[in-house]
Structure 1
Amino acid sequence: MRRRIGAFLLSGILTVSMFAGCGSQPSTNNLSNTTSNEGSSEEKTTKNTETEKTPQEEDHFTIKYPSYMTDSEGDALELEKEPEKIVCLSNAALQILVRCDIKPIAITSTASGIDYPDWVEELPTIETGMSEVDTESIIALEPDLVIMGEHLKEDYGKLLDDADIPVYYSSEGPSTTYEEVKEAAVVFGEAFGGEEEKAAIEAEFKEVEDRANEYAQNHDTKKMMILFSLSPAYQQTSEGYLGSMLSLLPFENLSDSLIDPSERTAPLDMEKLVEMNPEVIFAISPMAQTSEDVEKMFQAEFDANPQIWNNLDAVKNGKIIYLPNEYVKSKGMYIINSLNTLMDMLEETLQ
């Protein structure tokens, strides 16, 4: 089985055991509660070596891969012992580590909107992008586990392998689906928090899914499309990040009839948009942080090409839902908060 480990954000001086039982867990969108009951400032920065270990074999540590990644990464990453110096370059994994009171030695930049405890913001940061990462800084920290996005594997995986640093690769981005985010969170929870944490995570997802099911039963199905930025215009199917959330609700994604849903995000011909004439348009952009910024971008396009946009029922009826950056790409378990917020918004705007 091939060794794969992804790295999150690591701090530099952890010398004590980091894998303790999670105990009672904080809410997904307020991770600062994780350390609220710890007694001293020292306890807030490092785990006591006598705390209970994660329920794995003492001389063995396993992180499974989600089912959708086993073809490329194998079934799991196997380590001889629990990692104590983790560089975490994945916000999805970081949320689970925080829930389990595990302190990395370094991290990537934290995702906006997620309320991490103060100690997270004090950790050393290793900048990462879609195609770059500071491997020299990672290697200098001598981590025993790195967690990072699969998109960085081709360019940087071999460098870390050559340095004998195990890497676990995570799947994140605009093409990650709700079910994939859920499965990855469960996998991380089981690895770092055992069966108790796994069950807690599954229960949180079930709660939001039950609410989504109730919403779907009480609302009529509407035809919609997701516009992923302008110009040029892109569309997103029901297998994109936002699309997969909306697939839990009473919406028919018209892009699924134009392209193979597995393409997830693809260019959109404006004539096709007019032809499909969706009742509702969801507008997002990777270039904008807030819904107000997204609205400004789209409004400029509406003003420049009224002959196109004024033919759309969604525009004429004011049924364009502008969404902030959190709906563009995966933020791990924060998707639960995003889905709840989305349903609250729809209750107000689509009555």
Structure 2
Amino acid sequence: MTDTDNAPLARLSEAGVAVWLDDLSRDRLTTGNLKQLIDERHVVGVTTNPSIFQAAISKSSLYDDDLRQQARQAADADAAVRRLTTDDVRAAADVLAPVARRTGGQDGRVSIEVDPRLAHDTDATTAQARELWATVDRPNVFIKIPATKAGLPAITATIAAGISVNVTLIFSIERHREVMDAYQAGLEQRLEAGESIENIASVASFFVSRVDAEIDKRLETIGTDDALALRGKAAVANARLAYAAYEEVIAAERWKRLEAAGAKRQRPLWASTSTKNPEYSDTMYVDQLVAPDTVNTMPESTLEATADHGRITGDTIRPNYDDARQVLAAIDAAGVDLTDVTQVLEDEGVEKFADSWNDLLQSVTAKLEAAK
């Protein structure tokens, strides 16, 4: 690999965007592929979700020996899935440990999600966050909690317990603000209890491409020339203004007091960054979302596309706030209710992850039965 091959990803990192891989499997771990991506593709973190694990475990034979052992121990599917997923996350955290040490714990992180079926249960989410943190038992892990209304107090409680959190399934700027408030409240509670906050980290995973997919569909239904001209513009505008909200928070006195006590910033993380519409550039949600203190988590296809032909030209967020506001205003004027869009996407996101988790449980149940 030449320096030229790495140039776009190197420029992305230099611009303050942490490159994370949105995928994990035992295949990546056993073949050394994850280590290779760290060494050659500037990858400094890994995210997972129920869909990723469903694909990894159901399609690979590398989990079969573990499943046979668990079948002999009469483990049920839930216990087996937790064992397999936490083992993979622990192993990935070990691979990324040097990155965590080099970055002071800001990067080198691996995310694992609470059971998505608990998304509307605050107490159960909080309890499982603690269980996952203890089971994986690595300091460079993020516990993923969805940004549902029930998830917000769970985020605060989990942070207050000293557990680092990746807040997932954020679609609206308003909810992003509530997430940032929940993070700060958790840090404040921990300080009030006389505990250190220096080793706690968090990211706020703001979803991108799904916003365009839903809004484009509505614009096409409206069908006017003005509406059609707005396709493919909403997601980037929405994300850019989420970053503007982040800048407001870190400039406020409340945050400055926390930062003085050792708090790490809750960086915006751009999630769902593969384009759903083949007519759009396959790197648009990378090229157009560059700013300091951000994370872009990419499936490998987007990572490779960025390495090959990404156009990283510096900060593409902060100079475009006015344009972003104008885009969202035009979308509203065209008749698209952004509040309804983001609520629909949140509901669908929770449902899709729960469906993937149920599919995984069914697949593992079948494998456990076959192994008896």
Which of the two has higher C-alpha Rg? 1
Structure 1 length-normalised TM: 0.30
More helix per residue: 2
Question: TM-score normalized by structure 2?
Answer: 0.29
